[in-house]
Amino acid sequence: MVYEQHDGPTVIDTAAGSGDGIRKCPSCGSSDIQLDIPSGMLVCHFCRHAWSTPLATEAFHLDTPIGDLRGRVIGSGSQNIVPGTDQVVSFKCAACGAEISIDTNHAMQARCPWCRNTLSINEQMPNGAVPDVVLPFSLPKDAAVERIGAFVKKRRFFANRRFIREFSPENVLGVYLPYMIVDVNANLTFEGEGEHTTRTYTVSVGKDETERRFDYDVYRVGRRFSLHVDDLTLESASDKRDQDASRNTNNIINSIMPFDTKNAVVYDANYLAGFSSQRRDVDVDALYEPAAMQTEDIGRYRSLDTISFYDRGVRWDRRDVEIMGERWIAAYLPVWLYSYQEEKSGGRKLLHYIAVNGRTGETMGSVPLNMTRLWVFTGIAEVLGVIAAGLSALILW
């Protein structure tokens, strides 16, 4: 297969002149601001004024036709990470002049210990800490706790006893995880062979035995079409892209997609207040091939409507994907996350996740198993199956 890449990039300025420091309430000037999850708006804790930032789609014109995309277009928050850029950022409080440090690996805000103003990282630094857009939480924590509790309850019987004793869904954390959202304008070419049944019939192959046979024609099949992929979402943190099932259950996080990314807003660190966030450490170049592969998968699925004539299936021998244009936007997406590290034999450890989509409430997780109980009941089920089969044969006899 061939993934043809075009030159670029063209940069969309998504910083909008944002600077670090105090982001004040437009009504009273307070910096004590936080997201009100039910309304989806930022609320000043001092005067209760509520407001929201513009939708990113409208602010950055991300709704232009995908078919018009040529080459690579990226948001300024999606540019390559510069090696050696500090993860701990220091700057002066604009209110009192105190110097404040923020570890961007874990937070994007800090409160000045002298004047109590909240200081935010909003400037797009080349360390992956500040994205182009953020999709705010809309599912409250108590709703996520309820979903996680219900998920574990359904699996309690076969769950590890230590996990059940230590399980505390109230410890769920709200996390903004880094993703790349990409639109793809592609031309796809598939070529291969398809088979169509022309006749079915039954023949005798022995005494009292018959065999069903098929006659079919073989065709050379080709499809070439344009494909527009809208808001394909890819993880942009290397540890979350690690799919080694012997160490973690990162695949769980993929299973709670999709997110309603069209509702993402222009980035403002105030949306992150009270939540943790993870810094992006993967560049667009590293995500290009996974995006092209998923584009190919989408194309193969969409082509199914055009090959129904070949009732015995089609084998594609050639699959070419030519990317005509791409548009990349770095985003923070909301996830309620419960984690548990299982101690396995031989000193091995396995990190389990139960994840809840912070927008839709979609829930999926991994629960450590009580292997002894599982094997016992599997054995009982097999014995009962053998007994049932024996009784059935005896009745027929």
**pLDDT value at 154 more than 80:** yes
Mean pLDDT of 262-271: 93
Task: Give the pLDDT confidence score for residue 383 in this predicted structure.
Answer: 55
User: For residue 191, what is the DSSP state?
Assistant: E
Q: CA separation (Å) from 64 to 61, 265, 331?
A: 6, 17, 19
Residues 133 and 60: their CA atoms lie apart, in Å, by: 10
The alpha carbon of 194 is separated from its chain's Cα centroid by a whole number of angstroms, namely 35
Helix (H) or strand (E) holding 189, with range, is strand 173-206
**pLDDT value at 158 more than 80:** no
Backbone angles phi, psi at 285, to 5 degrees: -55, -40
Task: Give the pLDDT confidence score for residue 375 in this predicted structure.
Answer: 52
Task: Give the pLDDT confidence score for residue 27 in this predicted structure.
Answer: 93
Cβ contacts of 95 within 8 Å, gap of 6 or more: 22, 112, 115, 117
Mean pLDDT of 155-169: 80
Name residue 315's beta-bridge partners. 193
CB atoms within 10 A of CB 358: 29
Cβ contacts of 124 within 8 Å, gap of 6 or more: 14, 15, 18, 76, 77, 79, 130
Per the listing, tokens 């400037």 go with: 123
Q: CA separation (Å) from 155 to 147, 337, 352, 366?
A: 13, 18, 14, 10
Task: Give the pLDDT confidence score for residue 35 in this predicted structure.
Answer: 94
Mean pLDDT of 163-186: 91
Most confident of 4-13, 79-88, 258-267, 343-352: 258-267
Higher pLDDT, 130 or 310: 310
Query: How does pLDDT run across 195-252, given as a tens digit for each residue?
Result: 999 999 998 887 778 889 999 999 999 999 999 999 999 999 888 887 776 677 788 8
pLDDT confidence of 127, banded at 50, 70, 90?
A: low
3-state secondary structure of 119: strand
User: For residue 80, what is the DSSP state?
Assistant: P
User: For residue 285, what is the DSSP state?
Assistant: H
Using alpha carbons only, give the angle 69, 70, 74 rounded to the nearest 5 degrees: 75
pLDDT confidence of 310, banded at 50, 70, 90?
A: very high
Could you tell me the pTM of the whole model?
0.82
Higher pLDDT, 244 or 40: 40
Residues 134 and 178: their CA atoms lie apart, in Å, by: 9
Residues 333 and 182: their CA atoms lie apart, in Å, by: 14
Mean pLDDT of 273-286: 90
Residue (of 1, 69, 6, 385) closest to 232 by Cα position: 69
Quote the percentage of the chain above a pLDDT of 70: 76
Higher pLDDT, 328 or 161: 328
- According to DSSP, the β-strands at 33-36 and 21-22 are unpaired
Cβ contacts of 200 within 8 Å, gap of 6 or more: 212, 213, 214, 215
pLDDT confidence of 4, banded at 50, 70, 90?
A: very low
Task: Give the pLDDT confidence score for residue 209 in this predicted structure.
Answer: 85
| Residues 130-141 as b or e (16 or more Cβ within 10 Å = b) | bbbbbbbbbbeb
Q: What is the mean pLDDT of the chain?
A: 84
**pLDDT value at 287 more than 60:** yes
Query: How does pLDDT run across 333-349, given as a tens digit for each residue?
Result: 999 999 888 877 677 78
Residue 28 identity (one-letter amino acid) = C
pLDDT confidence of 396, banded at 50, 70, 90?
A: very low
Most confident of 21-30, 324-333, 339-348: 324-333
Quote the percentage of the chain above a pLDDT of 90: 52
Residues 296 and 70: their CA atoms lie apart, in Å, by: 18
**pLDDT value at 1 more than 50:** no
Task: Give the pLDDT confidence score for residue 3 in this predicted structure.
Answer: 45
DSSP alpha helix (H) spans, the chain: 56-59, 141-154, 161-166, 238-241, 251-254, 284-303, 371-396
Residues 179 and 184: their CA atoms lie apart, in Å, by: 16
Residue (of 45, 330, 336, 271) closest to 136 by Cα position: 271
Q: Do 25 and 33 touch, CB atoms closer than 8 A?
A: yes
Most confident of 59-63, 97-101, 111-115: 59-63
